[in-house]
Amino acid sequence: MVKSAESIRADAYSILDHSQRIAISVTATKDTTPAWMTLVEWLAIAAFSICAAWILTASGALGAVRAAVGWLPKRKVMDANLARQVLDSGSETGIREYIAARRMSDAEFNAAFVASGKSVDTATPTVPLLQPR
């Protein structure tokens, strides 16, 4: 079952024709990313960003960056100024004013202060009650 030279030549031309068509088709194809893969990429970027922000916040590094840049919360700056006045011997501001200001400005500090049992007026609730009219 030996093929004749003509059939071999015809097969070779057929193979060459098909390979040329494949080469032309390959150059015309576009590389597209499926929509679901784009969604997965964006979700991964969002998850990474949230994790990075959480790690920076939990470790305290974000506070260090904010302090280095000079972006300090106004409440913290006011608290630091009042603490500086308390430490100044020429100032009339005392430790009682400092504690009162801290209790008024920070609900968590007030709750911890009341819970410690060292509050002067422990009957004062930590959450202001509505006054009857």
pLDDT tens per residue, range 114-133: 888 754 555 555 555 455 55
Identify whether 3 is part of a domain.
no
- Shared domain for 42 and 79, answered yes or no, is no
Identify whether 82 is part of a domain.
yes
Model pTM above 0.85: no
Q: Would you state the pLDDT for residue 35?
A: 93
- Shared domain for 85 and 66, answered yes or no, is no
How many distinct structural domains can be found in the chain? 2
Q: Would you state the pLDDT for residue 126?
A: 55
Identify whether 14 is part of a domain.
no
- Shared domain for 61 and 88, answered yes or no, is no
Q: Would you state the pLDDT for residue 119?
A: 47
- Shared domain for 37 and 59, answered yes or no, is yes
Residue 3 has pLDDT above 90, yes or no: no
pLDDT tens per residue, range 37-92: 999 999 999 999 999 999 988 998 888 888 888 888 888 888 888 888 888 877 77
Identify whether 9 is part of a domain.
no
5: burial class by Cβ within 10 Å (0-12, 13-18, 19+)?
exposed
Residue 75 CA to residue 81 CA, distance in Å, equals 10
- Shared domain for 59 and 40, answered yes or no, is yes
Percent of the chain with pLDDT over 70: 86
Its domain, for residue 39, covers: 33-71
